[in-house]
Structure 1
């Protein structure tokens, strides 16, 4: 792919002759801000276009970047807009448009992911993509790994800041085994990567990933299977197995709590231990444990 590009020159281009190369949807509030800004202080940065000869022989222009500014101009009743006209081929025009969108401060998650994927598909390696987009190499490598595995649900969660990239990669590395996934979550928690709200978000993403799949593509209808006696029995058995697993986990949790309560009773019976706790300001317990430790009730 050629990287050559003729230096651009400023021209006033009729808006009706501009075709959008890489259209983007915008939040109405953001668009209104663009319009108000241009109305108040004018166009601070020209749009970028590249010329193309149409089938009728008339020169038209592909918009590389500045769609919001162009639409704002049109909404203000303007028929022309200042533009930097550059001479690039279709491939470079698309790449320039993508990198412009990716480098923006505010972007939609899937927009960023699609941009990185397309750049990679055009033959750019992770270092070049990182350089063009302003992202770090490790981040681009992580995103490409998730893209190759089709983990759209995790990708969106990462881009929305719900879970860290490293945690998402750990979840993928655990495969589909529930025990391995839970272990990956535990390790992420212990390392400090997942705490509080992020840990809750990660669990939700994993549940949806296991239930609905890794992809988040909209508009794809799942095949509806015919209901048969066999399928009903299988569904029932699957639900029974799930319920049994829940009961088993609750019993395990209860046994662990009983052990904790018993151990605390023995420790708190040791005067030296309680003196040490008071000295360190650790002489209180959560209400739930306190009621059971000091009441002598061995049931939970």
Structure 2
């Protein structure tokens, strides 16, 4: 394990994604810990799992742009560490290793804290993070673009990646009526993104009317 004053560029991954909260003043204490030495912490306060669509989007984002924010861990032994903050990022990285995208011992930037701080760290990360609905993100980003701001400026302002900003702005291609169904929980993000294959709102609405009565609406059926 090595210490570094800056976050390392991930092996076999491109740029970085803001996927969680970094701990203040952590940069000087960041260690690179092999992925296969990390495991979920039983002290993580998040018990209700994120939605499958949220996990899928995080996995896709990390695959394409890497991981930016360090995990926060406590030592179980000299070679085992429990992740108190960043469990979803850990899950995504483990999946990428299982898929052969990154090696099983891929170095992951981690802040090692005392186990006594684990619950406080986990609670702080989860309580301070109130993710915006993707439709709300789209509207906010779209308004800022209308004000003449760049995608880079928006990403910096909201603490997200430029890639996420671009994905949200694709929702501008979707009919407002479908966006409202998304807000109401009648459609997943993957289904909404399937409608972006065309800019023709009339065609989108025709497809929506054809599939909305189904028991399970799948992105492939929309495409």
With structure 2 as the length reference, what TM-score do the two structures score? 0.39
Name which one, 1 or 2, has greater alpha-carbon Rg: 1
Looking at both structures, which has the greater relative contact order when contacts are Cα pairs under 8 Å and sequence separation is at least 6?
2
| Structure having the larger proportion of residues in helix | 1
